Amino acid sequence: MSETHDFDVLVIGSGAAGLSLALMIADHANVAVFSKNKLSSGSTSWAQGGIAAVLDDRDSQESHVQDTLNAGGGLCDPDAVKFVVSQGKDAIDWLIKNGADFTKEDDPDNGAVVEGDYHLTKEGGHSFRRVIHSDDATGKEVQISLEKQVKKHPNITLFEHHMAVDLISSDRKNFKTQKCVGAYILDTKRGKIDLFRAKATALATGGASRTYLYTSNPDGSTGDGIAMAWRLGCRVANMEFNQFHPTCLYHPETRTFLLTEALRGEGAVLKLPNGKRFMDRFDERAELAPRDIVAHAIDHEMKRLGVDCLYIDISQKDDDFIKDHFPTIYKRCLKLGYDLTKEPIPIVPAAHYTCGGIMTDLDARTDVKNLYAVGEVAHTGLHGANRMASNSLLECLVFAKSAAADILKVIKREKLDTDIKPWDESRVTDSDEEVVVSHNWNELRHFMWDYVGIVRSTRRLERAARRIDMLAGEIREYYGAFRVTPDLLELRNLVTVSDLIVRSALLRTESRGLHYTLDFPEQDPDLDGRNTVLKPPRRPSSR
């Protein structure tokens, strides 16, 4: 039987953005946090590199701002960049206060640890060493420390294995005056959809890299928040900019293991199958060029040579240095038959980060009143046409803080909407055609990889658009007839997000940042500062 729950705030998503936001408001509000699987199943735990912040006296906020603007290809919002960068140190201090343990710098004189002096690494696009980290498992350390805090807070209720179906509007007939009053949530263990009413709702659901066949992301990165916000009436921006991480391990047993950019920051080089380096032919910064340039170069060389992978090599560094700085990667590669200290490791680019998303302001507010978006799900203006390495976790923390301040004001004046009807599944039945969902899922991810990947063309995009239209029609029919399942919900959201990606890509008639098209290979200066903004149809969504 379905249940009804009331909270001050719903936080949908349990990564760095969601857990930080919950902690920042929980002293003054009752908060529900939802995770599709376990709390730690999101992308945060998979983040290896670190968090970019100005922590060294030789560095400056101006330099961090300029590096971010340069990487963003002329589409970053300067105000958003300055807003985020200015709060970098405070964000790191907050994490440390909440238990995060970052790698310290060894004293070169006697090998002792210098108290408070953290080891900083350098990654692509950065002018200085400014990436604080916990060895090569920073995301895991952040996730564990935040989980410890939320689990012991009396005002936070955790709902693992709960998946959002749709957000709830106060008035579906008038998009201009509507506000978000809660969400329908599927308890995946009970198989029932419960009603959760709230004064404010925050989406922290991550990105949509599972749209693609090859990705560095966990299974849950299916664009749920973006799709739900779109259905509710929120604008989205810059969905054509999908970041492909240049170096994902190429191995038949694992298609999702990332080889952090910090490897290249510490001296790793990229090589062709014959052992020759090639990045200097594409950019003067070579291996330390921004990710879009490195990914394009690898893709170009793979296609030119007709090979399935290229290689990354850090074996010239001291063995102990490699094992100390990259213990997770070293052990994982060794388990799969590769020794990071002795040989090049096969790599291939993979979908990694969604730079576009739900449009928000600096308080993380969306177009719909009382609905917020924090983290990868949001388009804040920080990333532009390409995300600079290690800016993403910083964005989560900074916008969690600004959203928390605004949400606390909202819940003081808002009242719960008690007129919401429970989920109605009286006219649907159990499906006997689950194969339709799995078939459509596989087809979607294959043609998105083939037609809407690192290199695109108008013809490829139009071909993808036609197939998406066909799949969308099938899924609408299926969704209306059968009881929902997690796989069906994810497929529904993936098709919606894929449509937004393709439509955005067709609208951008140039190559810029992460969007490269054969029909418009040059950047158009007339499009500097111009985001690709899509407005949803002004009509109620289905069911």
Q: How far apart are CA 435 and CA 107, in angstroms?
A: 59
- Bridge-based pairing of strands 192-203 and 4-12 is parallel
Cα–Cα distance measured from residue 210 to residue 208, given in angstroms and rounded to the nearest whole number: 5
What would be the CATH architecture of the domain defined by 434-534?
Up-down Bundle (1.20)
First-to-last C-alpha distance (Å) of the chain? 19
Strand order in the sheet with 269-271: 242-249, 345-354, 310-313, 269-271
4-241+355-413 architecture in CATH? 3-Layer(bba) Sandwich (3.50)
Mean pLDDT by 10 residues, the chain (543 residues): 94 96 98 93 78 93 96 96 97 95 69 62 87 88 95 97 96 76 96 96 96 86 96 97 91 78 91 96 91 88 91 95 92 93 94 95 97 98 93 96 98 92 80 78 91 94 97 88 89 97 98 95 95 82 43
| Number of Cβ within a 10 Å radius of residue 286 | 19
| Residue type at position 177 | T
Structural tokens at position 198: 């709230």
Which two structure tokens, joined as six digits, stand for 82? 């300055």
Strands 113-118 and 104-106 turn out to be antiparallel
Q: From CA 65, how far away is CA 346, in angstroms rounded?
A: 34
Q: Does domain 245-352 sit in CATH 3.90.700.10?
A: yes
The number of beta carbons lying within 10 Å of the beta carbon of residue 54 is 21
Q: 364: Cβ–Cβ under 8 A, 6 or more apart, which residues? A: 202, 372, 373, 374, 378, 380, 399, 400, 402, 403, 406
The sheet carrying 533-534 orders its strands as 378-379, 357-359, 236-237, 533-534
Task: Give the closest residue to 467 by CA, choosing from 478, 451, 479, 484.
Answer: 451
pLDDT value, residue 111: 43
DSSP string, 329-363: HHHHHHHTT--TTTS-EEEEEEEEEE--EEE--TT
Extents of the domains making up the chain: 4-241+355-413, 245-352, 434-534
Alpha helices in 214-356, H assignment, sequence order: 224-232, 262-265, 291-305, 319-325, 327-335
**Residue 482: CB atoms within 10 Å:** 19
In contact, 407 and 200? CB cutoff 8 Å: yes
Residue 320 CB-density burial (10 A; 0-12 exposed, 13-18 middle, 19+ buried):
exposed
Q: What residues contact residue 139 under an 8 Å CB cut-off, 6+ apart?
A: 16, 43, 44, 45, 46, 47, 48, 393
Q: What distance in Å separates the CA atoms of residue 237 and residue 497, rounded to the nearest whole number?
A: 12
Catalytic pick among 264, 291, 456, 460: 291
Phi, psi of 476 (to 5 degrees): -60, -45
**Cβ-based burial of 361 (10 A; exposed 0-12, middle 13-18, buried ≥19):** middle
| Tally of CB atoms within 10 A around 97 | 10
Whether 291 is catalytic: yes
**Alpha helix locations (H) across 169-287?**
224-232, 262-265
pTM of the model: 0.90
Do the beta carbons of residue 32 and residue 159 sit within 8 Å? yes
CB 279 within 8 A of CB 270: yes
